[in-house]
């Protein structure tokens, strides 16, 4: 299951599995947001190459408007996917804060 929604502060919240089956839904949603800046990945469980493609297309669009996406509350597992793919060089990524 995958959900994408806008939080009250303009943050886009991603939940579940962003895979090939959900890529179109995510792209259509993000294309409908004028200039997204922050994606909250707290509840993002999985991202496939198709999901990475959605974020890359959105990043290119936002950068063309003078902005950039910031991915916040990224789990270690999802951060590894970005690192292994080299996408950690494309996005600003903030891990989930450690409690303690």
Query: What pLDDT, on the 0 to 100 scale, is given for residue 35?
Result: 87
Cα 24 to Cα 18: distance, rounded to the nearest angstrom: 10
Q: How many CA atoms lie within 13 A of 67 on its CB side?
A: 12
Is the pLDDT score of 100 beyond 60?
Answer: no
Query: What pLDDT, on the 0 to 100 scale, is given for residue 18?
Result: 98
Query: What pLDDT, on the 0 to 100 scale, is given for residue 8?
Result: 82
Query: What pLDDT, on the 0 to 100 scale, is given for residue 99?
Result: 60
Is the pLDDT score of 44 beyond 70?
Answer: yes
The dihedrals phi and psi of 52, each to the nearest 5 degrees, come to -60, -40
């Amino acid at each position: 299951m995958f959900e994408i929604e806008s939080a009250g502060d303009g943050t886009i919240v991603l939940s579940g599995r962003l895979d090939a089956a959900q890529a179109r839904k995510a792209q259509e949603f993000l294309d409908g947001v004028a200039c997204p800046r922050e994606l909250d990945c707290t509840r993002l469980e999985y991202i496939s190459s198709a999901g990475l493609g959605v974020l890359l297309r959105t990043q290119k669009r936002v950068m063309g408007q003078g902005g950039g996406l910031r991915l916040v509350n990224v789990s270690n597992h999802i951060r590894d996917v970005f690192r292994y793919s080299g996408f950690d060089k494309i996005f600003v990524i903030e891990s989930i804060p450690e409690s303690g």
